[in-house]
Amino acid sequence: MRIHLAYENIDTVLELVPTHRPQKRFHITPQGEKANYQRMIKFDSTLSDTHLLQEEDLGEKIKKADVDIDIELAGKKVHHTSRITVTEDLEPVYDYSIYDMLTLPDGTVKERPHMETIGNINISIPVRITDELEDPKDLMLEYVFRKSYYITHYDGVTYKFLYEIAEYLHQTKKFARVDTFNPETKKREPLILTDGGRKFPRAYLSGTVKGKKYRLVLFLSDQELKTMGGV
């Protein structure tokens, strides 16, 4: 993933690398053989828990037949699947609207129409490292940081650019706020990593150096911590 980043009068396209990568695992049977996942049909939609609980005289039906297993379907291998949208009655839906569900600080849930997002970190207008510096201890008590990425160089020029930023943040012991700006309104906008991705209204950059080595980490937050009155 790339980010078009600007600091002072310099801007360039750099790489973002996740700080936490999923750990690879494999399974071994008691006999020492490798075991892999295989998609197989377990039951059809008429035997789902939601559907069965709506049936009348379910107890009698279970006594008369094993409704959990369809001999004709169960056990068949599935190689390719497609995800489709269905109603509560498991009927396919071809036209629908998407809504976001938001949990407010008081615990109530609010619904709003979903707005499709477009990535804005690697476009002609760069993401800017601002002059706003914050104490990292305060930030950790104010925001929930869901993602973090290393910012890395690809040649000597970008190395010098990033090293100087990391050295400055290391000396100040502060995090720098990172923002995108709407070219028309001149107002801040949330960072969006990819098309259809999550909005991150708050982004901060930390930097450390050790000898000729540097580390720049971009922290992304989409949730602010708030205390409820009387708690």
Task: Give residue-wise pLDDT tens across range 152-187.
Answer: 999 999 999 999 999 999 999 999 999 998 877 878
Say what the pLDDT of residue 231 is.
42
Per-residue model confidence as pLDDT tens digits over 96-148: 888 888 887 778 889 988 888 889 999 888 999 999 999 999 999 899 999 99
Do 142 and 68 sit in the same domain of this protein?
Answer: no
Assess if residue 204 is contained within a domain: yes
User: What percent of the chain lies above the pLDDT cut of 70?
Assistant: 82
Say what the pLDDT of residue 216 is.
97
Assess if residue 16 is contained within a domain: yes
pTM: 0.70
Q: What are phi and psi of 174, to 5 degrees?
A: -125, 165
Do 143 and 210 sit in the same domain of this protein?
Answer: yes
Assess if residue 231 is contained within a domain: no
SS3 58: helix
Residue owning tokens 């059809």: 44
DSSP-derived pairing of the beta strands 109-113 and 188-189: unpaired
Do 137 and 51 sit in the same domain of this protein?
Answer: no
Q: Whole-number mean pLDDT of the chain?
A: 84
Q: Stretch 77-95: mean pLDDT, rounded?
A: 82
Assess if residue 55 is contained within a domain: yes
For residue 219, the enclosing domain spans 2-21+117-224
Closest CA to 90 of 56, 40, 50, 53: 50
User: What percent of the chain lies above the pLDDT cut of 90?
Assistant: 42
